[in-house]
Amino acid sequence: MEEQTRFRLSKQRKVILEELRKVTTHPTADEVYDMVRKIMPRISLGTVYRNLEFLCSQGLARKVGPAGAQKRFDGNATPHAHIRCRVCHRVADVPVHLEAPMLAPEDCMGFEIEECNIEFEGICPDCQRKTC
């Protein structure tokens, strides 16, 4: 009854993961493409996208920042925490004030920090019902 998919370790997939692991720069897909192309000049951007997606689905890599392509807007301009649904990408306000963690100056990597965004991720009531 279970549909067990078999994964293969193509050269492309191997190199993409290796290159991604070499850096801590959190590259975009086209930056990964550039990195990998130095080793495999004929790789396609589509393959890079497919494999990054695959690696994330396997827990071998992560997307930085929230899922969902579209930007969302908040008429409440005072900073506050959000909860985002993993499934439908809906965003709700956290109804309590959370103290933003402070970073010691030596942990700021030279950044001039202006604010801290706290975003919980989970599954909203509606989507919990649908997923059974």
Partner DNA sequence: TTGATTGCAAACTATTTGCAGAAAG
Partner DNA sequence: CTTTCTGCAAATAGTTTGCAATCAA
Residues 37-96 that bind its own copies (CB under 8 A): 52, 55-56, 59-66, 70-77, 79, 81-86, 90-96
Length of the chain, in residues: 132
Give dist(CA 16, CA 9) in Å, integer: 11
Is 99 labelled as part of a ligand binding site? yes
* 116 annotated to a ligand binding site: no
CA dist., res. 57 & res. 86, Å (int)? 13
Cα–Cα distance measured from residue 12 to residue 120, given in angstroms and rounded to the nearest whole number: 33
Residues 41-60 that bind DNA (CB under 7 A): 42-47, 49-51, 53-54
Enumerate residues 6+ apart whose C-beta is below 8 A from 113. Answer: 103
In whole angstroms, give the CA distance from residue 91 to residue 110: 31
The reply on whether position 129 binds DNA by CB under 7 A is no
Q: Which of 15, 20, 36, 43 binds its own copies (CB under 8 A)?
A: 20
Given DNA, its own copies, none, residue 132, with its beta carbon under 5 to 8 Å by kind, binds: none
Stretch that binds its own copies, among 2-10, 33-41, 116-124 (CB under 8 A): 116-124
Instruction: Write out the binding residues for DNA, residues 21-40 only, by CB under 7 A.
Output: 28-30, 40
- Residue 83: which of 58, 49, 119 has the closest Cα? 119
Query: Is 108 known to sit in a ligand binding site?
Result: no
